[in-house]
Structure 1
Amino acid sequence: MAILAPALKQGDTIGFFSPSSPATCFAPKRFERAKAYLQQKGFNLKAGKLTGQSDYYRSGSIQQRADELNVLIRDPQVRCIISTIGGNNSNALLPYIDYAALKKDPKIIIGYSDVTALLLGIYAQTGLVTFYGPALVASFGEYPPLVDETFASFETLLCETAYESRRQKQNPPYRYQMPEQWTDVKIDWENQCEAKLTQANDWQFIGNGVIKGRVIGGNLNTMAGIWGSPYMPEIQQGDILLLEDCLKGIETVERSFSHLKLCGVFDKVSAIILGKHELFDDKRTGRQPLDVLMEVLNGQPVPILNGFDSCHTHPMLVTPLGVEGTIDFDQQTICITSPWLK
């Protein structure tokens, strides 16, 4: 039985923490812009203890980073906990998280990339539905109109007004809308002063029929760091698997997809949601991650939704993990069909 956190209300406190990279230090302008953006939307912010701190490649020691998160988990005023950014080492925190406190007082936990380890670890240990979605600095520090589209998904999925409206209509499925434009243009964050150039969007529905299953997954490279541990939810028969990655070469992507095949994952899942790959390096092959996945599958009939915008690109759509999703490959729609908040 899944545990659900309450929806966010105007005036609620959002706590932010830095489980790996010290973005509050290396991107101070973007950090301030992100804080101001959420405050203008009516939220109070509580800074994690490692805000403004740096230990070279990380914000602090393993224990310091775990303590920072646990302070926010134990604070009854904090109703949502958002990462500032990802990195490479969030999995180190997993043995030290106060899971009992989260069970007692469930709250929204949201982030992406390396924070996949925490989202899946918390779900595996508690049953709490977590959210693959924006990070404070990386996402809400972007310029309009992209940041506004990301916030629109955040508000629609996580805030009380929108969620209550849905419940009053007897909980109809939530249907995702494809953003018209997207970008993975890279600009130095501290020198960026305008919106990024965008390109027309496209989702590919490769398959037939209607697929229903538990939505699970996240950043593929990060999942390798918890695979086989008690913090990686067991892939169940019929799951819909969300996969995304960034800044990787085609050889690494082939290895990662092949790892899943060797583990029997593709024998269990009913469908794959493949997110856009930020700045994918095709090594002059002309191939994309979808091509690599299809080669690894080698004719195995797994339906694929390719190009979904819950990934490192902008804008970013919030995706609950641990809920039921439905992909209609004939009608080309994707919906969340079970409650994700209470």
Structure 2
Amino acid sequence: MPNKLIKPKALHPASQIGIVSPARLATPDVIEIGKSFLQNMGFSVFVHPQNTEKHFQLAGTDEDRAQAIMDMVEDPSIDAILAPRGGIGSYRVIPHLKFDVIAENPKIFCGFSDLTTLMLAIHQRTGLVTFHGPLLMNLSGDHDAYNLNFLTQFLTGKIPTGQPIHYPEGRCMREGKAEGKIIGGNITLLQHMIATKDEIDMSSAILFLEDDAGEKISDIERKLWHFKNTGKLQRIGALIVGEFAGFREDSNGEWGRDILAILKEVLPSHVPVVWNFPCGHGKKMTTLPLGITARIEISPKGTYLTYTESPFA
């Protein structure tokens, strides 16, 4: 990873957001609803024609999807790039991207779940601050206002540096404080990135993890033990765990240990931990800038996250 962070410019009311689909094909209503939400916030929205292409389950071929991303990067009228949905396939576009061009044209990239690979590959290879945040499909439903509020507050630069953000949803597993860069994403894709050029350095990091919805708890345990056995969890500064929504029972019955018991097994005793944090496949979702330094304070009274630098130029 480059030694120096590259920071995009924050959005303003006249900014234009480009919509591309790096992964699965989204239904037209997802795109239209998300587009309407963004327009109601005052942004212009350009939906790339690639969003309607179909190649098996994906929104066009790997080359088509990568080219759509590069079209948005090279278009001077586009200030941010969002996606309608994840699913699978984002990792397939990475070999076709021009990372030198992305570095020369720093823009906001935001997504999560399957887009973890894309957000982290761009961050790791260029130093660009990318954002773990909602897809268009997360801007409708019971908590669309929560998700949209955090997204717009972050992307317009209205989250003040040095001021604690309180997350009352988070539950304290182990109290403590830490300072480090924020990094993380989907636990499955983070595991798959080990031993690739996009593997992340977790040393002293505030690591956050979110799961694949409906995953078996035994699978989560296997992944956490993999991280432990690589030595990565021994080096982190703090751990943020998402809601881990929709656990399925294992086929052989109850696994016997919940997520808290597993975390206590795999983590060093000095690492502060918050769980049920709104950063994944649950109903509520905040936005997190990747690679930015922050302080976290976790206690039974609440979880507070303070950014010590701005994610924007």
Alignment match, 1:7: 10
Deviations 1:254-300 (A, max 9, x none): 11111101111111101111011121114334643333222333x64
In 2, the alpha carbon distance for the partners of 1:13 and 1:232 equals 32
Q: What residue number does 2:91 align with?
A: 91
Q: How far apart are the structure 2 equivalents of 1:287 and 1:233?
A: 28
| CA apart distance, 1:172 | 2.4
Query: Residues 156-183 of structure 1, C-alpha deviation per residue, up to 9 Å, x if partnerless?
Result: 11115x25xx3xxxx42351433xxxxx
For residue 114 of structure 1, report the CA deviation from its aligned partner.
0.6
Inter-partner Cα distance in structure 2 for 1:54 and 1:230: 29
Letter in 2 for 1:156: Q
Of 239, 254, 262, which aligns to 1:272? Answer: 239
Say which of 15, 20, 38 aligns to 1:17: 20
2:46 paired residue number: 46
Aligned letter for 2:180?
G
SS at the partner of 2:49?
coil
8 Å contact 2:173–2:260 — kept in the other structure? no
Task: Render the CA deviation track for 1:195-252: whole Å, top value 9, x for unaligned.
Answer: xxxxxxx4222334321111111001112332211122322x2111111102210121
Distance of aligned partners of 1:224 and 1:266 in 2 relative to their CA distance in 1, 3 Å threshold: closer
1:30-83: per-residue Cα shift (whole Å, max 9, x none)? 332221111121111112232112222211211111111111111111111011
Relative distance call for 1:176 and 1:21 in structure 2 (3 A) is farther
Note if 1:217 corresponds to 2:189.
no
Runs of 4+ with >4 A deviation: none
The residue number in structure 1 matching 2:204 is 238
Answering whether residue 163 of structure 2 is matched by residue 173 of structure 1, we say: yes
> Is the CA contact 1:103–1:126 (under 8 Å) kept in the aligned structure 2?
yes
CA distance in 2 between partners of 1:296 and 1:209 (Å): 17
* One-letter amino acid of the counterpart of residue 265, structure 2: E
- Separation in structure 2 between the aligned mates of residue 328 and residue 250 of structure 1, nearest angstrom: 27
Aligned ranges 1:67-78 → 2 under 5 Å: 67-78=67-78
Partners of 2:86 and 2:15 lie apart in 1 by 24
Identity of aligned residues (%): 27
* Paired amino acid for 2:277: F
Counterpart of 1:146 in structure 2 is 143
Question: Structure 2 stretches of 5 or more lacking a match?
Answer: none
Give the aligned CA root-mean-square deviation in angstroms.
1.8
> For the residues of structure 2 that align with 1:232 and 1:46, how far apart are their CA atoms?
32
| Distance in structure 1 (CA, Å) of the matches to 2:255 and 2:218 | 11
Q: 1:242 to 1:271 in 2, by over 3 A?
A: same
